[in-house]
Amino acid sequence: MPIPTALRTLLKPEDILKQLGIRAGWRVVDCGCGAGYYLAPAARFVGAQGRVVGIDVRSAAVDEARRRVELAGVADRVDVFRADLTRPQASGLPDGWADLVLLVSMLYQSEPRSVLQEAARIAKPADGRVVVIEWEQVATPLGPPPEQRVMRDTVLAAAKAAGMMFLSSFTPSPYQYGLMFVRPQASSAAEPPRRAGNVEV
């Protein structure tokens, strides 16, 4: 989704990406990239050996995101295309391709279970991270109406259904929450359940 101008002073992609530990050579996917607010900063971090992919369902957003990465001079390492991520394997990316999958302020506009299933599929097992940033369930001067927002427990349950494990939470802005997940390596030994909020993960 487009990032409101007022929020840009609070939610800085460079700071968020540093906090997430982005590294040179990584493959990053921004699901619901909107106008590409995270694409150029991610491309600078991953460098010439890395790759960044932006996906959005809206053609106008894809066009604007492409324009932004071209102006930033990083189009050589960024791919932006249109896809409906609620459809199975809609991204067209290989299983386990990405080191980092971002879902920033997009689940409230979509179907969390379907989108998180695709995010889990393309994340590298064990090492890949899936990061969700969504709006808090409180009155805020920015963001969608409260009734449209996605509760933490909804995200946690959808991530668990997609086969992911909760790793940690963080606060990207005063108005949003952040959750980090990993797609576990296949193992015959079951790990003990973990809890986040009211959901066993």
Q: Does residue 52 contact residue 80 with C-beta atoms inside 8 Å?
A: no
The number of distinct structural domains making up the chain is 1
191: in domain: no
What distance in Å separates the CA atoms of residue 58 and residue 61, rounded to the nearest whole number? Answer: 5
Whether 189 has a pLDDT exceeding 60, the answer reads: no
133: in domain: yes
190: in domain: no
pLDDT, residue 201, reads 37
How many residues are given for the chain?
A: 201
pLDDT in tens, 132-172: 999 998 888 888 888 889 999 999 999 999 999 999 999 99
What distance in Å separates the CA atoms of residue 83 and residue 31, rounded to the nearest whole number? Answer: 9
pLDDT, residue 63, reads 97
How far from 6 is each of 11, 68, 104, 108, 133, CA to CA, in Å?
9, 19, 16, 20, 17
189: in domain: no
106: in domain: yes
Residue 45 structure tokens: 């971090």
pLDDT in tens, 84-109: 999 999 999 999 999 999 999 999 88
Give the pLDDT band of residue 11 (cuts 50, 70, 90).
confident
What share of the chain in percent tops pLDDT 70? 87
Q: What is the CATH number of the domain that holds 62?
A: 3.40.50.150
Calculate the average pLDDT of the chain: 89
What distance in Å separates the CA atoms of residue 67 and residue 136, rounded to the nearest whole number? Answer: 31
Containing structural domain, residue 98: 5-184
